[in-house]
Amino acid sequence: MASQTLTSSMQPTDVYGGDEVSAIILDPGFSSVRAGFAGEDTPKSFVSSYYGVNEGGQVFGDDAIHNPLAGLDIRNPMSKEGIVEDWDTATRLWEYAITSRLTSFKQADPRNNGLNDDLKDLDVEMDGVEEGEKPLEEHPLLMTETAWNSPKNRERAIEIAMESWGCPAFWLARNSVLAAFGAGKATALVVDVGASTASVLAIHDGLILKKSIQKSHLAGNWLSSQIRTLFATSEPKVELVPHYTIMSKTPVDAGAPAQATYRTYEKEVTDSFRALEEERVLTEFKESVVQVWTGPGRLNSPMQAGMTNLEYAKSQPGRVFEMPDGYNQMWGGERFTVAEGMWDERAALPVAGEQPVQKGQTISEMVKASVNAVDMDLRSQLLQNIVVTGGTTLVNGFTDRLNNELTVMYPSARIKIQAAGLTAERRFGSWIGGSILGSLGTFHQMWISKKEFEEFGSSVVEKRCK
């Protein structure tokens, strides 16, 4: 804590805006749940949103869900739009995220200390400890939500916080607003490309402008599906083999078939488990190989004398990627094509069982639509305060391309993009903003207190958290 380095005579005064009340910030996303104490710079608890189900019940956390032996069926409580679908599980998942790293249920709580495996026993004791044994009695909770969260979902969130977890105070903030705060801005155009959704929306003085909300599915999961298509249509076809199937591998030349010994499991591994593990390989691929064509122009637009940008890109040195089974290959122009669909709907690779990408779903078109939906006087200010956040914006060249597209689109406006340089800050942008907000002294007056919740009911959240 910073205050420890201060001399005893220098108690933090009100000029320094922080006043910690050990609030907890909970930022659930489609791919992961981030939780931690306000005032810290990264979330202490980072848990996959995926959970496993088998005969024994649900398991949470990366330690448990990647176990191929357990015969887990992998699910996600979030919907394709990045909002909660399965509330019961989501509650348990968040509880896990909070109690595994931050606070804990009091010793006697039987559900999490692992002492009670007998379910009958659990019920009996549950009754006894119900009163006053809630995990967050000491901590105000600041939770994030997407801008398109439904009113019902919002009420549900406060009910869980107040009734199940016993929070003394609660607040529900939009994750895009927090991402802007995290970048130090109260007025901004936030471009958030996460796992399930890519969204663009305008924020004015810390309030989202509802008419400016634009979202599409061209985010991390979509990018994964593009890579899958790329693998499947390559000549020869590239096999996507997750790590857990490999016993050992021997190095092979580029393009040569893999030489590996495979593991076999007694119990059949479920498809969803395999998909989860494949996703991990794909994320590696995204991190190390995928590249966005930074411009000028589109990937398929002509460059000079009869040459397209793609042809130029192909002539540049490629990147080698080695699969878990040892198969490796040089990826040249293809590493550009997978991400191009985010910007140019015609360049998107067709994905089986999905609608072709629409023009309005591309990032640049979303920015345009969003900017057009706000008051004229705000527009140029917004373009000067573009905040880029979310894990998928980490693909190489993303911000450069965004900048290029926007300067072409608005030649006379000044474009300024603010993208955190550190990977963690980009991925945890909204959590960090929450951490800042939650530790501000002036924020104390905002909290919805337990009393207010009891007085006005769960609809208070609609009234207060605008």
**Site residues (CB under 8 A) for other proteins?**
3, 8, 11, 13-14, 17, 19-22, 137-138, 140, 168-169, 204-205, 207, 209-212, 374-380, 408, 410-413, 440-442, 444-445, 447, 449-452, 455, 466
Binding site for Mg ion (CB under 5 A): 29, 194
Report the residue from 48, 89, 153, 197 that binds ligand ATP according to the rule CB under 6 A.
Answer: 197
- Report, in Å, the least distance between residue 99 CB and ligand ATP: 20
Place of tokens 């591994």: 269
Between CA 435 and CA 238 the distance in angstroms is: 43
Q: Closest Cα to residue 286, out of 233, 232, 220, 333? A: 220
- Report, in Å, the least distance between residue 8 CB and ligand ATP: 41
Q: Is the Cβ of residue 196 or residue 418 nearer to ligand ATP in the bound state?
A: 196
- Report, in Å, the least distance between residue 178 CB and ligand ATP: 12
Report the residue from 76, 196, 216, 458 that binds ligand ATP according to the rule CB under 6 A.
Answer: 196
What order do you get walking across the sheet with 448-449 strand by strand? 45-48, 32-37, 24-28, 141-145, 169-174, 448-449
H-helix segments, 160-210: 175-182
Q: What is the DSSP letter of 268?
A: P
Residue 392: name its binding partner from ligand ATP, Mg ion, other proteins, none (Cβ under 5 to 8 Å by kind): ligand ATP
Place of tokens 């000029």: 15
Residue 335 binding ligand ATP, by CB under 6 A: no
- Report, in Å, the least distance between residue 393 CB and ligand ATP: 8
> Are the C-beta atoms of residues 139 and 23 closer than 8 Å to each other?
yes
Report the residue from 390, 433, 434, 438 that binds ligand ATP according to the rule CB under 6 A.
Answer: 390
- Give the list of residues 6+ apart from residue 11 with CB closer than 8 angstroms, or none: 3
- Report, in Å, the least distance between residue 438 CB and other proteins: 11
Report the residue from 39, 43, 71, 82 that binds ligand ATP according to the rule CB under 6 A.
Answer: 82
Between CA 250 and CA 258 the distance in angstroms is: 8
Tokens of 183: 């970048």
Q: Is the Cβ of residue 34 or residue 134 nearer to ligand ATP in the bound state?
A: 34
How many residues does this entry show for the chain? 466
Between CA 19 and CA 16 the distance in angstroms is: 8
Q: Is the Cβ of residue 264 or residue 412 nearer to other proteins in the bound state?
A: 412
